[in-house]
Amino acid sequence: MTGFRLKLPFLILIALVFSLKSKAQNTDLKKEYATTLVGLADVLLQHQLKDKKKQDFGALKCDYDQVLHTRASEAVYPFAIAYKITGKRQYLEAAVRTGNWLIKQQQTDGSWKETPEEWTGTTTDQVLMLMLAWGHLETHLNAAEKAMWNMAIHKAVDYLYQVMTPEFASINYVATTCATLAKAALFFKDEKYMKRAKEMAHRTVSKMDEDGFLNGEGGRTHANKLGADLGYSMEMSLWGLGFYAKLNNDTVVNNAVKHALKSHLYFIYPDGSLDNSWGIRSNKWTTYGGATSDGCQVLFSLYADEDPRYGKASLKNLQYLRKNILPGGLVAYGPHHEAVMSRPPCIYPTFTKAKNLAMAWELETHANRVLARLPTEETGWMKHFKTMDVIQLRTANFMATVTGYGYKDYKAGAKSKYMYRPAGGAISNLWVKDHGYLTASSVTEYSRPEPMSFPEAPGIKSLTPRIEYTDSLGYFTNLFEFDSRIEGAQVGTDRFEVKATGELKDKNWLAGGVGYSIDYLFSDRSLIKTINLVYHDSSPVVKIIEPVVNYKRTVFTRIDAHTVLITAGDKQFKFKLLSGNAILNIGKEAERYWAPYPALKAFPLELEVHTVEGVFKQEIQYEFSIIR
């Protein structure tokens, strides 16, 4: 009996280890990164001007606007890594060509303009890529090229040393510059760059809140900026800080990034999509990430040894990104790019994702990495990020993000590009297992704050589920309610409730006279929404809009006055008005329900709510249920 007692704990331990391994996944992430990187390098190579007689020999030409974006020459580094992976000289030659062209575009102060615009903050991205590429290309440069590259790198670094602060740029540029100056300190063996990098890095992490979200992406208050963006943090800022910390062995910054990453991990959905539906720069959200931000693989590679879930998140997002690569090789703006856009995408998402994968490939240290399940792959939980007022939850079949994020750009107000993100307790992202997005979100009103980045899309309507009305005073919606109150609770073994309250407001954040509350009840197979309207100073016709993502071959069938059947391949859903004084309209102005970011189209289900004489409160309840 004594021998049996000694062996039992050991046997239990062995069984537990075997069980954990059976649930884990072993993957060669380096190989995965290389496969996609080389594919992206191939399409970038196709866009390079190769006629030596031309003045712009070596530049990369964009199909979308025919511009020779200086930032596209950040491809110098992915080209260099593609050469290292394959040994093929075509990538080596492409890297040298584009590096030489970029250097010729440098301004006298050492900066590069982000053509066709005047902004110079992206100098940090360009010079960092030149420095990272240098180690792979130095022996292949002639003496004149070496001198030219060295001088250009030094001038750019000195420019950043002089100008880069949170007062000069949004926080992602500051975070990237921490990495750039740290690399420059080693490159030039000059400690002044590392000292400045440390000062900037510590100031940057001081802008993190207790949940690890980084402020500084929005509009200015006085000289400084506030506002958080999940996407830019995951795809730019956090890897910049982490890379700096690695080069300088800065445990303060490293620990801050590790803390932040624990929260940010929850925004990699079970299918690998990156949920930046609610961030202040979500106007560039593509579902796999941002259109002009780098990517999350480099961040997860930096910290893959800390937690086996990070490697899994990186792989899942990479696999999702691949679904958004068009047949010609360019990275699209989202899953429905070809359906909603008549022109090819800008080259930006292709070279930014390529540079991210090049860094991830170099940082990955394991040929075979054990991966663990993501938090979002687990079921039966709810998480409230109180500093952002964002709630996430997961049931057996549903995952949702509900946002009450209340950041305000007080100086710019309605003119601010940051104030058209979803808010007011809206479900900004609703995902269903074995289906994908049932609903998603886009900006409340589309505009082109950066004409280079935002395609023309006149007259389109928001994809975000919402409450709205229009009267003589203007357009009012819960999406402009940035002072909503939001709370959530688990109300059963498999049920979760989220409640949001506020006022329907216009783009100037002024209330029009109708209050609202939204109660969401999630279970494994249904989502019930209960909306209460309070007519305290106005009595308009209110519309409740549910734009359902319209995948190819999705069929919407009206069953009766209250019911719509939604058939999408093997999945089938039912939308049903359960109670309340509302008229169900389907497909109204459906041709206007699409977005460039994310590139999705939707089919609107609309509940039209008329006032009742003598009644100042109305309740509307409806349900999305999974039939199969």
pLDDT tens, 212-260?
999 999 999 998 899 999 999 999 999 999 999 999 999 999 999 999 9
Does 12 score more than 50 pLDDT? no
Residue 514 has what DSSP assignment?
E
Whole-number pLDDT of residue 1: 35
Residues contacting residue 103 through CB under 8 Å, at least 6 positions apart:
130, 148, 149, 152
Q: Of 299, 344, 338, whose CA–CA distance to 317 is shortest?
A: 299
Banded pLDDT at 36 (limits 50, 70, 90): very high
Residue 7 has pLDDT above 90, yes or no: no
CA–CA gap between residue 609 and residue 185 (Å, rounded): 64
Its CATH architecture, for the domain 381-626, is Distorted Sandwich (2.70)
* pLDDT the model gives residue 24: 66
Residue 88 contacts by C-beta under 8 Å, 6 or more apart in sequence?
A: 82
- Average pLDDT value for residue range 356-379: 96
Residue 535 has pLDDT above 50, yes or no: yes
Domain segments of the chain as ranges: 19-376, 381-626
Q: How confident is the model at residue 450 (pLDDT cuts 50, 70, 90)?
A: confident
| pLDDT above 90: percentage of residues in the chain | 94
Question: Going by C-beta distance under 8 Å and a sequence separation of 6 or more, which residues neighbour residue 503?
Answer: 481, 483, 511, 512, 514, 515, 516
- What number is the average pLDDT over the span 89-100? 98
CATH of 19-376, one of 1.50.10.10, 3.60.15.10, 3.90.550.10, 3.20.20.20: 1.50.10.10
Q: 3-state class of 418 per DSSP?
A: helix
Give the pLDDT confidence score for residue 21 in this predicted structure: 45
Query: pLDDT, tens digit, for every residue of 193-206?
Result: 999 999 999 999 99
Q: Which residues, 6+ apart, have CB-to-CB distance to 616 below 8 Å? A: 534, 535, 536
- For residue 194, what is the enclosing H or E element? helix 191-205
Q: Do 574 and 566 contact (CB within 8 A), yes or no?
A: yes
